[in-house]
Structure 1
Amino acid sequence: MSDIRGTLRTALSQAIIDELIGKNVAASVTLPSSRSKKRKAWSSDDARRFLESARTDDDVFYAAYVLVLVLGLRKGEALGLTWDDIDLDGAELTIGRQLQRVRRQLLHRETKTEGSDATLPLPDICVAALRHRQVRQREARSEAGKAWQGSGLVFTTRFSTPVEPRNFSRSYDTRIMKAGVRRITVHDARRTCGTLLADLDVHPRVAMQILRHAQFSITMEIYTQVSSKSTRDALKRPGESLGGSADA
């Protein structure tokens, strides 16, 4: 409602400048205060159970789930990633494109705003998950043979065609049920990012870059709310074990 009022007020202000009207009647309008909805997120324990479930079952989207939870990537950003966007040796990932369903077309295009673009450092768990994904994709390419499309995307179907975002959401919901955690949307899952970075012992300055905070103090507020040592240790194990399997 406030967005509508703001748009109307701006339009009427311009009308005054253009001498079309004499008074901006929207300027004096006040809206009743409303209670903002509490944003949903998982606890570190919920996120750990979700990721461990995906890793144990060798879920094809395990690395995507890691990127959503640990880096805060949007669904379209994760599905739009190409291997050219990722430097595993340098532990960096560049966000610049997204995969979106627009009407009847599946588009691989630039992110909506320049503010969405970023080059992010990759914590160890992300590097391990992506290396594992790389191995699995090579295996899928070998099995597909001439049917392989070679899209260059990180997350694809078994023939390397883009993943339908709705199918990703269905897989995510199925994984939630298997993991036995409360259901939240992919968008809400991104809000777990800051807590997980603290629990994974990612340096606060690195976390500040990942979270894209303007002030270091905001990042440090999150770092004062870390989980128990047992939870932090459990969160680190999936990355370590995956790293081992990917190198095998």
Structure 2
Amino acid sequence: MKHHHRLIFKALIDAVKWHLIVRNVAEAVTPPKTRKVEMKTWDNEQVKIFLDVSKDSSYYPIFLTAINTGMRRGGVLGLRWQDIDFDNNIIYVRQSLQEVKKVGLTFKEPKSGKSRSISITPSLAKELKKIYKQQLTDKHLFGQGYQDLDLVFAQKNGKPIQPTEMARNYRKMVETSGLPYIRFHDLRHTHATLMLKQGIHPKVVSERLGHSTIGNTMDTYTHVLPK
């Protein structure tokens, strides 16, 4: 409702400026206050429990990457091999996989509108290299039937992973773990929260998350910053 009010308010401001109307009636309306949804995250121990339970899931590398990088779901599923620098252990977020109604799966630029780099740990790099070796085997098995989109996380035939299927498995893994449920997107918040609690500078966290300003990061995570 608040968003619609902003759109109408701006449209009528332009209409007054262009002498189409004499008054912006949206000025007489008080929009509702924004209600902040309480952020839910896991602590270090809960993260370990979840990763241990989901170890045998085919989506485990996706969960691991999301937790270790703070990338959005679309960014993880849209990650390509050309976007990974294994020499320096850096991931470049350059595209996002999105599910669009009546269109299907499509690739778009990141939500921030620009690419960014994220440093990764040697252990995560090792897991990603395992996937690369497995994909070489899959390419050999499928031959011309393999759809090579250069995706890091793909189906056996190379096609993009269905976000809804992955999300369904994620929910199942959380239920199996017995942990309090948090959304897949909350793995991003968990990553940021754990970094800030460890004393990592908010500017570093902000750049990893792809926030436009450090103020955005501070507003979102002030409650977890060390005193």
Q: Where on the TM-score scale, by shorter chain, does this alignment land: which range?
A: 0.7 to 0.9
The one of the two structures with greater contact order (alpha-carbon pairs below 8 A, sep at least 6) is 1
1:209-245 deviation line (CA, Å, top 9, x unaligned) = 31346449948975639xxxxxxxxxxxxxxxxxxxx
2:159 to 149, 158, 161: 161
| Deviation of the 1:143 alpha carbon | 4.1
CA positional deviation for 1:113: 4.3
Paired AA for residue 113 in structure 2? E
Q: Which stretches in structure 2 are left out of the alignment for 5+ residues? A: none
Distance 1:222 1:90, change over 3 A: farther
- State the secondary structure of the residue aligned to 2:192: helix
Q: Distance in 2 between matches of 1:106 and 1:32?
A: 35
Q: How many residues align?
A: 221
**Scaled by the length of structure 2, what TM-score is found?**
0.82
**1:142 to partner: Cα distance:** 4.1
Q: Give the letter aligned to residue 20 of structure 2.
A: L
Q: Match for residue 74 of structure 1?
A: 72
Could you tell me how far apart the structure 1 residues matched to 2:58 and 2:31 are?
Answer: 47
- The root-mean-square deviation of aligned C-alpha atoms, in Å, is 2.9
Give 1:127's match in structure 2, choosing from 121, 125, 144.
125
The whole-number CA distance in structure 1 between the counterparts of 2:130 and 2:196 is 24
1:106 corresponding residue in structure 2: 105
- Shift of the 111–194 alpha-carbon distance from structure 1 to 2, 3 Å rule, reads closer
The residue aligned with 2:195 is 197
Whole-angstrom CA distance in 1 between matches of 2:143 and 2:199: 40
2:136 paired with 1:138: yes
Paired residue secondary structure (1:153)? coil
* CA distance in structure 2 between the partners assigned to 1:140 and 1:151 by the alignment: 13
Deviation of 1:145 after TM superposition, in Å, equals 4.5
The one-letter code matched in structure 1 to 2:16 is I
User: Which stretch shows the higher mean deviation, 60-69 or 140-149?
Assistant: 140-149
Cα offset, 1:9, TM superposition = 0.8
Structure 2 equivalent of residue 180 of structure 1: 178
Aligned AA (1:50) = F
Aligned to 2:2: 2
CA spacing shift, 1:67–1:197, aligned 2, 3 Å: farther
Pairing 1:45–2:45 present: yes
Normalising by structure 1, what TM-score?
0.76
CA distance, structure 1, for counterparts of residue 223 and residue 151 of structure 2: 36
> Which structure 1 residue ranges, 4+ long, deviate > 6 Å from structure 2?
none
- Which residue identity does 1:109 align to in structure 2? K
User: Cα deviation per residue 1:176-203 (whole Å; 9 max; x = unaligned)?
Assistant: 223222222212222101133357x695
Equivalent position SS for 2:27: coil
Deviations 1:55-81 (A, max 9, x none): 3x2x33222112222222111111111
Between 63-72 and 31-40, the greater mean CA deviation after superposition: 31-40
Contact kept in structure 2, 1:194 and 1:222, CA below 8 Å = no
